[in-house]
Structure 1
Amino acid sequence: MLKNLLLLNFFLVCTFVLTDTYAQKESRLTGNSPYSALGLGDINPAGAIATEAMGGTGLTFGNGIYVNTLNPAMLVKTRFVAFSTGIRGQYKTLSDGRNSQTDFGANLSHVMLAFGMKPKWTMSVGLRPHSSVEYESRFTSTIQGTSNQVQYIYKGQGGLSKATVGSGHMIGKSLYIGAEAAYYFGSVSRDTTSRLLLNDGEDYYLRYTDRINANGVGLKTGFTWQQKLSSKWFLNVGGTYEFRSKLKGDQLRSLTTLIEGQNGPQVLKKPDTLSIGSGSLQLPSQYALGISIESPLKWIFAVEYSKQDWTTYRNFKGAAESPLTASDKIAVGVEFLPKVTSTSYFNQVFYRVGFQQTKTPYLINNTQVMDRSFSLGLSTPLGFRNLSYIDFGLALGTRGVTGNGLVKENYVKVSLGFSLVDTRWFMKSKID
């Protein structure tokens, strides 16, 4: 137990150091992504590191070693106390067909604790990023009738986080149901800056800032039905439904004048507040369905489909955004554990591969942006027959295309997770 706690403390220290380092660089999970300028930004994966290595599947199965963050019904598979966390990093190359750049982003993927209340009832509490906004683009034009130029800079950063409380129950021998309540909170800031380029080196900036703070509650329900096919194989069918959510928010709009200094732009005079208002955001509902064939602690073959209609999204002004449309995802994944009873260390390692194809909600110039990726990973135990594991994941993919006003992103995602399970927490001491 002490060894597990020491490893957990070491991992948490590394997590906070990495997160703080990248926060100082204003870098999030997405890195620089022009598509995150739309809607709420890029929606972060909801699954744990282990399920992400399987193409993001995980609706219909669980083994109690890692906490299922996709379907609250599967929480009940976790019979003991389980703690799960992880880091996701992404290296990408962006190109519009003429220009290209590389970028890197990283962030904490999730923090979750699950604990069994009764043999057929498990609860969880967690925190994870829900959406990420991180983009910056520039272009320069000449002021008509002069030789001076002006540079336009568009920049956004921020996102929403999600605190959750989940509950999973087993009914009879084959039905699992669950629910997860969520509290959304966060802010998004978008800047539009006009920079007057002068030959004397004292460039002037005029920056318009639109900052929104939002918070609200949400609810997701889930189920899984399990049918025994033979002595070693089971058929699992399940799904989730996330209800439409309405978030309340405040908006601050301001205008700032800056001048070029030795260490970058310096505020020339106090920002002018243009307006302060209140409003709301409306998040669309989402459903997901999945099926898997499982030989417990040996094989899992899973296929899943999910859909979310972003035409029902409403921004702070209560209006729909024309570049957003319905989004859906198809994912397949395979998991293999060589031999759980073996004394060989590598026979207790989980091996995973997966694929997913996503029609993102971004519809630009009549072209819907597609995202395709292949993934693989493994989970290695901290010791012989130890229920605590370290999870590794790698995904290679591409999003978007070049031309027609779009940007293509080729990316490599690397994930590191930690799952700590202990069977002795909350147990009463016995005295002989």
Structure 2
Amino acid sequence: MYKPFRALLVISGLVIGAQQVQAQQLSNSPYSRFGVGDLVHGTGTVRSAGMGQVGVATASPFLINDMNPALLYYNNLVTFEATVASELKKLSDRNTSQVDGTANLGSLSLSIPLSRRWTTALGLKPYSRVNYETVATSTVPGTENEVPVTALTEYRGSGGLNEVYFAHGIRIANGLTAGVSGSYIFGTIERQSSNILVDPADETSALQKTLFNTTTKYTGVMLKGGLHYRKSLSPKANIGLGATYTGKAAISADRVTTQERRFLDESLISALVIDSLDGHTTLPQMWQAGVSFDNNKNWTIGADFTNIKGSDFRGFSLNKNEGGQELGDGYRVGLGTEFTPDAGSVSSYFKRISYRLGGYYGKSELVGTIGSNAVTAHDLKDMAFTWGFSLPLGRGVRPPDYTQALLNTSFTVGQLEAKNTGLKEQYFRVNVGITFNNRWFIKRRFD
């Protein structure tokens, strides 16, 4: 095996693995307060991100497809990928706005062809991400007619869920492949609410605050299956059809809730554990369908549809499938294309670059409970324009190493908005990944 490739694989695995078991952060997103945060599951690699999150039916022999395990069959080289994700976001409402950003080590994946009909893959990536910080003010009931007492309530959350997956793609018949993926879900989400009472008649009232901290650790298993069919329409035209289904998963959730009193400088006054419970959370099912066309050479176009059964989600409860509903159903439609002028060109480097373009539109629903009976729903609309490139590194595939390296990039400009709240998120995301393709188990021949 190529030594630099092997060394980079080991080092990246250690670094990214250490980072991934911690919280998957993103820029401040108030919507990640619901469920287990903003879902990353159902989106793809850097290639898919540059093509409008399209990937259910778009196979690639050089890049790993983690959206549809059935497409692993087309990876007939040992392929290693590592990615970094960054985001710059402007969050605004009717009165104020703020800008912040973040960058994180993203995903790690390795695919190995076991035979001419069977390829397997192992990967580590985020399932969801939580990061929010909001403040609400209100007047304490009963003080309206006197000197009003103001209550400042701050909500904070951080963490997320991670996914380690083990996938297989097998050819069943000519043009027909099937795949299955088993994932271990794990992670920790911390949520905090604090209250400060400001009484104009008492100068010491705002020196302390009361906090409720909830830390929940999640572990569980999730299964996913996929199919793909590819048919030649002519020597220069092929069609691909793909579909995946991710089953509903009831995972373990261990929750610890504490109550604290702190000074405003965060120094602790007192702390008390309110409860420590072992329960369950139900993650929603999801299905995806896609279609692609290509010329069997250097051009591909694809379209995907994703349906997330958010109403299946159930929050923490002592019994399975009995928690509160915080999400509604949602969908996403994506369209994207990829073009490589001439992958084998020796006269022009730019002809060897793969160019991608796409966009997507999605809609989802958040359900919040007010008081004991009233329920309000917020419709979220998410739309974005995407583009990206794959830049070949080195001089291409050649013996005796048989190694090819690619630098993959994707860029996304989008907006997430809930019109009935006036809250808007405008984001710019950049993903960068490195891919190595290598031929293993080559029988050496000597003259």
Question: What TM-score do you get using the length of structure 1 for normalisation?
Answer: 0.90
Cα deviation digits, residues 240-283 of structure 1 (max 9, x gap): 011111101211111111113xxx311112x2111111111111
Within the alignment, does 1:249 sit opposite 2:253 as a pair?
Answer: yes
Q: Which of 110, 114, 124 is equivalent to 1:113?
A: 110
5+ unaligned residues in a row in structure 2: which ranges? 369-375, 398-403
Cα distance between partner residues in 2 of 1:321 and 1:406: 25
Structure-2 residue corresponding to 1:396:
413
Aligned length: 420
Task: Please give the alpha-carbon distance, in whole angstroms, between the structure 2 residues aligned to 1:108 and 1:152.
Answer: 33
Label 1:126 to 1:7 Cα distance change in 2 as closer, same or farther (>3 A). closer
Partners of 1:29 and 1:297 in 2: CA distance = 39
Q: Distance in 1 between matches of 2:377 and 2:153?
A: 26
Answer yes or no: is 1:340 the counterpart of 2:343: yes
Report how far residue 151 of structure 1 moved: 2.0
Residue 322 of structure 1 and its aligned partner are, at CA, apart by 4.9
Which of 369, 381, 385 aligns to 2:392? It is 381
Secondary structure, aligned partner of 1:334:
strand
Counterpart-to-counterpart distance in 1, 2:9 and 2:297: 25
Letter in 2 for 1:204: Q
C-alpha separation in 2, matches of 1:209 and 1:166: 37
What is the CA distance between 1:120 and its match in structure 2?
1.1
* Counterpart for residue 88 of structure 1: 85
CA contact (8 A) 1:311 1:321 kept: no
Contact 2:13-2:108 within 8 A present in 1 as well: no
CA distance in 1, matches of 2:168, 2:32: 32
Query: Which whole-Å CA distance do the structure 2 matches of 1:43 and 1:199 have between them?
Result: 44
Map of 1:3-42 to 2, 5 A cutoff? Answer: 4=5, 28-42=24-38
Q: Which range moved further: 136-145 or 231-240?
A: 136-145
| Cα offset, 1:39, TM superposition | 0.8
For 2:101 and 2:82, the matched residues in 1 are separated by 21
Task: Tell me which residue corresponds to 1:268.
Answer: 269
SS in 1 for 2:70: helix
* SS of structure 2 residue aligned to 1:61: coil
Name the counterpart of 2:372.
Answer: none
Instruction: Give 1:23-422 correspondences, 5 Å limit.
Output: 28-44=24-40, 46-141=43-138, 144=143, 145-146=146-147, 149-197=150-198, 199=203, 203-260=207-264, 264-269=265-270, 271-317=271-317, 318-319=321-322, 321-343=324-346, 344-362=348-366, 365-386=376-397, 387-401=404-418, 404-422=420-438
1:249–1:323 Cα change, 3 Å: closer
Whole-Å Cα distance in 1 between the matches of residues 37 and 378 of structure 2? 18
Aligned residues of 2:314 and 2:325 also touching (Cα < 8 A):
no
- SS of 1:50 mapped into structure 2: helix
In the TM superposition, what whole-angstrom CA distance separates every residue of 1:92-113 from its partner, at most 9, and x where no partner exists? 1111111111121333321111
| Separation in structure 2 between the aligned mates of residue 246 and residue 14 of structure 1, nearest angstrom | 30
Matched residue SS, 2:357: strand
Instruction: After TM superposition, give the deviation of residue 14 of structure 1 in Å.
Output: 8.8
SS in 2 for 1:388: strand
Q: Is the 8 A contact 1:282 1:313 kept in 2?
A: yes
| SS in structure 1 of the partner of residue 236 of structure 2 | coil
Alignment check: 8 A CA contact 2:352 2:392 kept: yes
Per-residue deviation, 1:297: 3.8
Distance 1:111 1:336 in 2: 25
Separation in structure 2 between the aligned mates of residue 229 and residue 178 of structure 1, nearest angstrom: 24
Unaligned 5+ residue runs, structure 1? none
Change (3 A) 1:319 1:35: farther
Judging changes above 3 Å, is the alpha-carbon distance between structure 1 residues 336 and 363 closer, same or farther for their aligned structure 2 residues?
A: farther
> 2:114 is paired with a residue of what secondary structure?
strand
Mark the CA change 1:295 to 1:165 in structure 2 (over 3 Å): closer, same or farther: same
What value does the CA root-mean-square deviation take over the aligned residues?
2.5
TM-score by length of 2: 0.87
Cα distance between partner residues in 2 of 1:79 and 1:206: 58
